[in-house]
């Protein structure tokens, strides 16, 4: 009887495994079929509107151990939760739902790196929360060394990294003070050998009145006490574009540039003068932002259009402009001492940035990095 029971148990376990695999592959086939339909139809992922979806968010922020205090709005006391319940709906299609397990299997053995300022931190933490929620029992490692952070899921061989650099170009300390070298990238060695790079810069370029982290701007042999910030941004971004063209092989690497993330300090932009993001609980309706695009958007598109190697623009500006409700406001790092209308709550809007990143990847012809 003992041997018979063992044989029965073994057979039962195998049957369960087969059924589980069949269910998994059936769900994956349905996911792939949906992706194929969207791909064949053609769809601008970045033109659309926000729709209420009670199945959102994609994860519970209280279950994610990676969120910095500055983005952790629920733990910081934000009581309204409707802002978590909105899904981005492109005009011509539905986004393929984010499937973290599929992502991890599809990109097994790959290295992914976000490069930029605290908004890159925002997006990086969002993605690792999304992946952790997909495989909550999977072992992970999280290591930080200087400006580099590395989240790894050893079982999948996937690394999701963050390289903190506010300007992409070099910021160095010399005898005369802190110098922003807008024509130099010596810090790019850490970006080489990475399978997918998502770059971002803008917000620190506009800091003034002593709030900028530099004392001089250097171009060639010339030092400037200041410079038109949009001009400096374009020069710095052009330096970055030349670095990408010279150092990244598009046949084996994938490069994205994260579009300009908007702020919501000026309510006049959405026809609510004297208001900011504090107290906002719903997105703007429709697909257009009354305040128009930030001037940096045109600079980004112009620089990208001149590059030799293809860089995909993760064009998140307009869809994020519609989300005046998505910022930490008084539920961020400084609490009620300040209002943060620059960063984003997690869970929240950066999850959609990563959802769009995911969709952009799997909707490409071969679906590979």
Backbone angles phi, psi at 36, to 5 degrees: -60, -40
Cα angle 35, 36, 38; round to 5:
65
> Tokens in use for 55?
């199945």
Cβ-contact 134, 97 below 8 angstroms: no
Has 340 been annotated as catalytic? Answer: yes
Check if 207 is active-site: no
Q: Spot the catalytic one: 118, 287, 293, 360.
A: 118
Nearest to 165 by CA among 185, 191, 184, 147: 147
User: Which of these is catalytic: 241, 340, 342, 351?
Assistant: 340
Non-local (6+) Cβ contacts of 69 within 8 A are 75, 76, 332, 333
| Residue among 329, 343, 351, 355 flagged as catalytic | 343
Picking from 322, 309, 333, the residue whose alpha carbon sits closest to that of residue 254 is 309
Please state, as a whole number, how many other Cβ atoms lie within 10 Å of the Cβ of residue 121.
20
DSSP E strand stretches across the chain: 48-52, 86-90, 111-116, 141-145, 148-153, 158-164, 170-174, 177-181, 196-199, 216-219, 222-224, 254-258, 312-314
Q: Is 209 assigned a catalytic role? A: no
CA distance 112 to 254: 9
Closest CA to 328 of 271, 267, 269, 264: 264
Q: What is the DSSP letter of 178?
A: E
- Give the catalytic positions in this structure: 118, 340, 343
């Amino acid at each position: 009887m003992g041997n018979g029971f063992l044989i029965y148990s073994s057979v039962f376990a195998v049957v369960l495994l087969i059924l589980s695999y069949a269910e998994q592959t059936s769900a994956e086939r349905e996911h792939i079929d949906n992706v194929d339909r969207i791909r064949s139809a053609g769809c601008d992922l970045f033109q659309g509107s926000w729709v209420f979806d009670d199945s959102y968010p994609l994860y519970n922020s209280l279950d994610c151990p990676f969120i910095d205090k500055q983005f952790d709005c629920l733990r910081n006391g934000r009581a309204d939760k409707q802002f978590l319940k909105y899904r981005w709906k492109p005009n011509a299609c539905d986004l393929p739902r984010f499937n973290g397990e599929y992502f991890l299997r599809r990109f097994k053995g790959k290295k992914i790196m976000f490069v930029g300022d605290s908004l890159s931190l925002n997006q990086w933490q969002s993605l690792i929360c999304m992946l952790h929620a997909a495989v909550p029992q999977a072992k992970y490692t999280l290591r930080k060394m200087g400006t580099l952070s590395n989240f790894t899921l050893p079982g999948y061989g996937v690394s999701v990294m963050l390289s903190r650099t506010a300007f992409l170009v070099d910021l160095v300390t010399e005898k005369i003070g802190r110098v922003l070298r807008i024509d130099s990238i010596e810090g790019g060695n850490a970006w080489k050998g990475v399978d997918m790079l998502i770059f971002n810069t803008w917000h620190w370029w506009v800091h003034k009145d002593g709030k900028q982290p530099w004392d001089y701007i250097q171009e060639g042999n010339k030092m400037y006490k200041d410079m038109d910030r949009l001009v400096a941004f374009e020069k710095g971004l052009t330096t970055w574009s030349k670095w990408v063209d010279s150092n990244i092989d598009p046949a084996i690497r994938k490069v994205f540039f994260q579009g300009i993330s908007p702020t919501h300090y000026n309510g006049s932009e959405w026809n609510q003068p004297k208001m900011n993001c504090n107290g906002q609980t719903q997105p703007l309706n429709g697909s257009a932002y009354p305040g128009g695009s930030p001037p940096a958007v045109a600079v980004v598109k112009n620089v990208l259009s001149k590059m030799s190697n293809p860089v995909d623009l993760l064009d998140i500006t307009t869809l994020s402009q519609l989300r005046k409700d998505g910022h930490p406001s008084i539920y961020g790092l400084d609490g009620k001492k300040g209002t943060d209308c620059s960063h984003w709550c997690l869970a929240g809007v950066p999850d959609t940035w990563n959802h769009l990143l995911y969709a952009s990847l799997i909707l490409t012809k071969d679906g590979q990095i």
